[in-house]
Structure 1
Amino acid sequence: MSHATRDGRLWQPDFLQAIDPGKCIGCGRCYKVCGREVMTLKGLNEDGDLVALDDDEDDEVEKKIMVMNDVGACIGCGACARVCPTNCQTHAPEQAEAA
């Protein structure tokens, strides 16, 4: 589904679908350009489980990565993809949700 810009030009949103935890370096650049809290920073422990980041858990964190937070808030602007140094995100046009 195409949308129009303010002056009527057609524009195709590309929504964030996934973040590859193997490629993500947790730099936070995508988080900083997204004003909608679509992503959040989490920790991966030695077992590969996602854990919240706080002072008590930092000893158990092997790596910090960005993960999906509020998928429905994404407007498909693509700013996060443009600033990502590792190309770890997957984006796709809007798709109809199955009922």
Structure 2
Amino acid sequence: MAQLTGLTFGGKNWIPQFVQAINQAKCIGCGRCFKVCGRNVLSLRAMNEEGEFVDNEEDDEIERKVMTIANQGNCVGCQACARICPKNCYTHAAYALA
């Protein structure tokens, strides 16, 4: 099985590492990763005290907000989100070609 690879502008091989998961227990919802991602991969969502997502963000039951992966297929594997995350919440992996 081969890995998906790319080239840098300088012609060097590069292996993209695509977002797989966000540790929501560690996430503080700061939004830094959202701001650095230009591919619309992430979304900030509200959670209640039980750790369930709340759709109505005006709801009084909101405990906190956390980042989620909204459009994983848009990820280009740059890992900018992980590099800017102050809590090291991200897991990334290379993509294996069948």
The TM-score normalised by the length of structure 2 is 0.89
* Unaligned runs of at least 5 residues, structure 1: none
Aligned partner of residue 96 in structure 2, secondary structure: coil
* Equivalent in the alignment of 2:82: 81
2-structure distance, mates of 1:53, 1:33 = 26
Deviant stretches of 4+, over 3 Å: none
Query: Is 1:46 the equivalent of 2:42?
Result: no
The TM-score normalised by the length of structure 1 is 0.88
Aligned partner of residue 42 in structure 1, secondary structure: strand
How many residue pairs were aligned? Answer: 95
2-structure distance, mates of 1:79, 1:53 = 29
* Equivalent in the alignment of 2:68: 67
1:96 CA displacement: 4.0
8 Å Cα contact 1:42/1:53 also seen in 2: no
Distance 1:69 1:2, change over 3 A: same
Aligned partner of residue 37 in structure 1, secondary structure: coil
Question: Identity over the aligned pairs, expressed in percent?
Answer: 49
Q: CA RMSD in A?
A: 1.4
Deviations 1:29-66 (A, max 9, x none): 00000011111000111221112353x22x21111100
